Amino acid sequence: MSRLFAVLLGGSGGPGRLAEDHETVFVVADDTVTAKAQAKAKWSGSGRPHVDALMEVDVVDGYAITAVPTSATGDSELVDFNDVPHDEAG
């Protein structure tokens, strides 16, 4: 059964930088091994990524999260917190 995973990736900060970059990606996979591989394929940084953390997302704020196959191709809306008044951004 497919599940949603949030994966925190880490990797090289790039040439000449003594740092590590991070990004969080979401993947749908049947198990953690597959989720890690799919997440690494989404890495947009330089060098090879590694997985710093992985979490199955099955409940958020009291709502059950399920992965259901669909033919929809819609994109998520990006929220730019620079455009949100401070009292709304939290």
- Residue-wise pLDDT for 4-56, tens only, equals 999 999 998 778 888 889 999 999 999 999 999 999 999 988 889 999 999 99
Q: Fill in the amino acid letter for 11.
A: G
Distance of CA 11 to the CA centre of its chain: 14
CB 2, CB 28: distance < 8 Å: yes
Q: What is the pTM of this model?
A: 0.77
The pLDDT, as a whole number, for residue 70 is 86
The pLDDT, as a whole number, for residue 84 is 61
Domain boundaries, the chain: 3-89
CATH topology assigned to domain 3-89? Ubiquitin-like (UB roll) (3.10.20)
